[in-house]
Amino acid sequence: MFITCGEALFDIFAQPSANSTPHGIGFDGIVGGSPLNVALGLSRMGNRASLFTRLSNDMFGRNIRAFMQDVDVHDDYCVATDQQTTLAMILTKPDGQPDYSLYTNGTADCSMEMSDIPAELDERDQVIHFGSFATALPESGGVLREFAKQQAGKRFIAFDPNARPIVIPERDIWHATVDEMLPVSNFVKASDEDLEFLYPGQPIEAFLDRCMAAGVDVACVTRGPDGAIAKSANGQSVDIPGRSVDIIDTVGAGDTFQAASLHFLGQAQLTRKGEAQKVDLEALVKFAIDAAALTCTRRGADLPTLAQIEAFAR
């Protein structure tokens, strides 16, 4: 039912070296990438999930494809290439927030071409999620935004800018991406950190209003431990507090919120243009906050199952 589009990479977690070298760094690699994380979350919640990207034939790419098979994320829309896999080096700061260094130059998921766009989609795949830095890059971004335009009005489009200035520091490129994606999107999620970079000094409500003016059905802004604010085209507006948890790290929390929101809309059968605004907005946001909070109690983007979310919410 769901296609997620964009990067599939390896998160390489840095830690003190296990040997005696005083300045050595040890690494622990985990499959990641925001769109793949969203697909993982959707699959674990019991949905059919597929990924559209380029996957490398290198050792990292082979492990990503094997991981997808293990977690039941379909690779029918993945294009094989000898280009190398994108790597995200992560150092977890004392407050649990990730400090990223990304290696993206000429890598597989950052070098998509128009010919990669699927000629046909499975009729079961009615929701397409876009987001993160692959959507804003010159090559892959152009491909993904074109794909979104082709499918707008035919399928339900979700968008999460997930701005990464470490990859693309130019704010105007992100502005152009958001401006291009909002009019074709039905559901939009952004974080308060995204908005601090994209529109410094502007209130969260200004972004929600921007989404509504562009024709978005439902828009949410997450605020980390402070919960989320959301608005719908039919006038609903909610401000839901966060869940207090012992944080291991916050990697994957935003992707979990997105996956949980899309799952909720799918279960409510509200994934057609104009229908999502009818959702019980408070229930949707509470469900997504619970799911994201649960992910924060785990290391890396270890997104929860539906049963785990429901048990945590009790």
pLDDT of 258-309, one tens digit each?
Answer: 999 999 999 999 998 889 999 999 999 999 999 999 999 988 788 999 999 9
Structure tokens at 250: 């916050």
pTM for the structure as a whole: 0.93
Of the given ranges (5-9, 142-146, 271-275), which has the lowest mean pLDDT?
A: 271-275
How far is the C-alpha of 57 from the C-alpha of 72, rounded, in Å? 20
The CATH number of the domain covering residues in 2-6+34-84+104-313: 3.40.1190.20
How far is the C-alpha of 167 from the C-alpha of 144, rounded, in Å? 17
- Going 258 to 43 to 57 to 88, the CA torsion angle's sign is positive
- What integer pLDDT is reported at residue 96 of this predicted model? 65
**Are the beta carbons of 73 and 45 closer than 8 angstroms?**
no
How far is the C-alpha of 160 from the C-alpha of 167, rounded, in Å? 16
pLDDT of 235-251, one tens digit each?
Answer: 999 999 999 888 888 88
Q: For the chain, what are the domain ranges?
A: 2-6+34-84+104-313
How far is the C-alpha of 225 from the C-alpha of 220, rounded, in Å? 15
> Position 257: which residue type?
F
Say yes or no to pLDDT of 182 above 90.
yes
Say yes or no to pLDDT of 104 above 80.
yes
- What integer pLDDT is reported at residue 13 of this predicted model? 81
**H-run or E-run covering 174:** helix 171-181
In angstroms, the first-to-last Cα distance of the chain is 28
Place of tokens 């909002």: 182
Give strand ranges (E) for 93-168. 98-103, 127-131, 156-160
How far is the C-alpha of 306 from the C-alpha of 250, rounded, in Å? 19
Quick one: DSSP state of residue 86? P
What count of other Cβ atoms lies within 10 Å of the Cβ of residue 172?
A: 8
| Torsion angles phi and psi, residue 71, rounded to 5 | -100, 10
